[in-house]
């Protein structure tokens, strides 16, 4: 139960952080889209980190894959005509959470 509460808290913080980092994206239901893409990718990322550790050799490739997957999911929601905006938003979301994680570990 404790692990589930920890995961839920970490997920909520991550969603709030990524939504805040992309507040400049003025698309309808943006918060719900951020929630959806995070729920699609974050559990797998958490599993990989638990299994293989938090080294740069693990985290950076995972983050790159997550940026791509989340951008594709956002394109599926909003259409491929906005691909530049959605790739940039996905990058900003993950850069913000990654850099926050680094600052928290210092």
Which residue pairs, CB below 8 angstroms and at least 24 apart, start in 26-31? 27/78, 27/82
CA angle 102, 33, 96 (to 5 degrees): 15
Residue where the block lists tokens 């509460």: 5
Residues 16-60: pLDDT tens digits?
999 999 999 999 999 999 999 999 999 999 899 999 998 999 999
Domain ranges of the chain: 2-105
pLDDT value of position 8 = 87
Residues 61-101: pLDDT tens digits?
999 999 999 999 999 999 999 999 999 999 999 999 999 98
Write phi, then psi, for 8 (nearest 5 degrees): -65, -40
């Amino acid at each position: 139960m404790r692990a589930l509460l920890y995961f839920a808290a970490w997920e909520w913080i991550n969603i709030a952080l990524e939504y805040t980092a992309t507040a400049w994206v003025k698309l309808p239901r943006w918060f719900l889209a951020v929630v959806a893409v995070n729920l699609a990718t974050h559990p797998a990322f958490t599993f990989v980190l638990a299994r293989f550790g938090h080294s740069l050799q693990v985290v950076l490739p995972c983050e790159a894959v997550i940026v791509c997957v989340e951008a594709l999911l956002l394109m599926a929601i909003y259409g491929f005509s906005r691909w530049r905006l959605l790739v940039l938003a996905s990058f900003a979301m993950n850069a913000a959470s990654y850099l926050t994680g680094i600052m928290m570990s210092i």
